[in-house]
Amino acid sequence: MALQASFLPSALSARKEGKVACIVKESAFLGSSILEHHKSQFNAPVLRTKRESNHSVGVVKAQTTAVAAPGLNQSTVHGKKVLRKGVVVITGASSGLGLAAAKALAETEKWHVVMACRDFLKAEKAAQSAGMAKENYSIMHLDLASLDSVRQFVHGFRQSGRPLDVLVCNAAIYRPTARTPTYTADGYEMSVGVNHLGHFLLANMLLDDLKKSDYPSRRLIILGSITGNTNTLAGNVPPKAGLGDLRGLAGGLDGRNSSAMIDGGAFDGAKAYKDSKICNMLTMQELHRRFHEDTGITFASLYPGCIATTGLFREHIPLFRLLFPPFQKFVTKGFVSEDESGKRLAQVVGDTSLSKSGVYWSWNKNSASFENQLSEEASDAVKAQKLWEISEKMVGLA
């Protein structure tokens, strides 16, 4: 992973010179009045990739030079308020929920989606096959399994000159059949390293950018899940999530000096994922406690429903992958399509009715959103603070 990360382009973006056609009507997203047929020149940043040979290791190394261009600020045209496109960064937008949300947001023409992905070509193909118009998205490289890559992403994003209005920490891996742990470039167990620690650093670094945004509603969203909440039936399917006293995390989560599991126990790939989701939900609440009042930023988490068809289950046994979707559709009735889940996440990104901070959103069977209750552990403020402090050290912020 370490090698892979350092040799991949740090930031890539498809070149775009888009024109933003705005529409007159009360926007469902943020409810601002937008002017019809007002074509605003939106000079999207052009990130040019300069490939150069790295002779010492004989591989191609990419560098990026960014040409910053100004965004379109809120202004008044013919007496009407014109809201510039919102800029939303979505991690792991190359498949599943992230892609579906990117598509839903891009289709509104009110958002420019920065798809932060580890596989540039996969993301480009995914965006194209989803029918996303070129001016509504760009792709930047981000491998959450490397903290260096996270830092490079932030640097590249800033160089692009775009403002940041919403960050969605969506990417995740799930390794239910793994018998032994694998590790990130920084030596942390992979599921927690990618799903929690990579996002923890990203969120902390990009907080400054969110603070600078002049957009009416700035948001930081982290995906949670029902399976990390032991106050539900799904959360009681073994192995159950549980962080214990965080001794494995405090010990470095490296499987050598300490356990590869947060609670210090024996490695279990499915549990590591569920643990990482508790971390995600605790982090959202800790962000809310630390920063909401001062910054006005909305911090939120959500359970989008059981999207049983996504790539998340790619490592599960074939029988599971075959039976899981009908099981969720007909037995638990918790199934949700990728399209529907994408719309749900898009609501949390931009809908005015979901602007409350510190909330874990869920949807009922009629797809109406509600504020859900987190399990005792996933809402433990003392644990959240301890998790924050240990995580800060692990990602080099403290």
Angle at 122 between CA 121 and CA 125, to 5 degrees: 85
- Quote the CA–CA distance of 32 and 24 in Å, as a whole number: 10
Give residues 321-380 in contact with ligand NDP (rule: CB under 6 A). Answer: none
Number of residues that bind ligand LMG (CB under 6 A): 12
> Of 288, 104, 291, 269, which is closest to residue 192 (Cα–Cα)?
269
Q: Which is nearer to ligand LMG, 152 or 195 (CB)?
A: 195
Q: Residue 168: in which H helix or E strand, if any?
A: strand 166-169
Q: Which does 330 bind (CB under 5 to 8 A by kind): ligand LMG, ligand PMR, ligand NDP, none?
A: ligand LMG
- Least separation in angstroms between residue 54's CB and ligand NDP is 22
| Contacts of ligand NDP in 100-119 (CB under 6 A) | 117-119
Contact between 282 and ligand NDP per CB under 6 A? no
Partner whose footprint covers residue 111, from ligand LMG, ligand NDP, ligand PMR, none (CB < 5 to 8 Å by kind): none
Listed residue (271, 266, 290, 267) closest to 387, CA to CA: 290
3-class SS of residue 5: helix
> Known catalytic residue: 303?
no
Residue from the set 24, 57, 323, 397 that interacts with ligand LMG by CB under 6 A: 323
Cα distance between the two ends of the chain = 24
Site string for ligand LMG, 51-70 (x = CB under 6 A): --------------------
Chosen residue from 57, 121, 133, 331 binding ligand LMG by CB under 6 A:
331
DSSP 354: G
236 near ligand PMR (CB under 6 A): no
Q: Are strands 46-54 and 298-302 parallel, antiparallel or unpaired?
A: unpaired
Q: Does 194 bind ligand PMR (CB under 6 A)?
A: no
Least distance between ligand LMG and beta carbon 323 (Å): 4
Please spell the DSSP secondary structure of 128-154, one letter per residue. HHTT--GGGEEEEE--TT-HHHHHHHH
- Within residues 3-42, the interface with ligand LMG by CB under 6 A covers none
What are the CA-CA distances from residue 157 to residues 99, 124, 125 (Å)? 19, 18, 21
Q: Is 291 helix (H, G, I), strand (E, B) or coil?
A: helix
Which one of ligand NDP, ligand PMR, ligand LMG, none is in contact with 209 (Cβ closer than 5 to 8 A by kind)? none
- Among candidate residues 137, 188, 215, 273, the one labeled active-site is 273
Q: How far apart are CA 48 and CA 62, in angstroms?
A: 10
| Interaction of residue 176 with ligand PMR, rule CB under 6 A | yes
Answer yes or no whether residue 270 interacts with ligand LMG by CB under 6 A: yes
Could you tell me the smallest distance in angstroms from the CB atom of residue 227 to ligand LMG? 7
Q: Is 254 exposed, middle or buried (0-12, 13-18, 19+ CB in 10 A)?
A: middle
Using CB under 6 A, which residues numbered 338 to 367 contact ligand LMG? none
Q: Which stretch binds ligand NDP (CB under 6 A): 12-20, 72-80, 170-178, 242-250?
A: 170-178
* 362 part of the interface to ligand PMR, by CB under 6 A: no
Q: Which residues contact 265 (CB under 8 A, 6 or more apart)?
A: 244, 248, 259, 271
Instruction: Tell the burial category of 39 from Cβ atoms under 10 Å away from its Cβ (0-12, 13-18, 19+).
Output: exposed
Give the count of beta carbons closer than 10 Å to the beta carbon of residue 87: 22
Interacting partner of 289 out of ligand LMG, ligand PMR, ligand NDP, none (Cβ under 5 to 8 A depending on kind): none
Binding site for ligand NDP (CB under 6 A): 91-92, 94-98, 117-119, 122, 142-145, 170-173, 194, 223, 225, 303-304, 306-308, 310-312
Binding site for ligand LMG (CB under 6 A): 176, 237, 270, 317, 319-320, 323-324, 326-327, 330-331
Active site residues: 273
Binding site for ligand PMR (CB under 6 A): 174, 176, 225-227, 233-234, 237, 270, 273-274, 306, 316, 332, 334
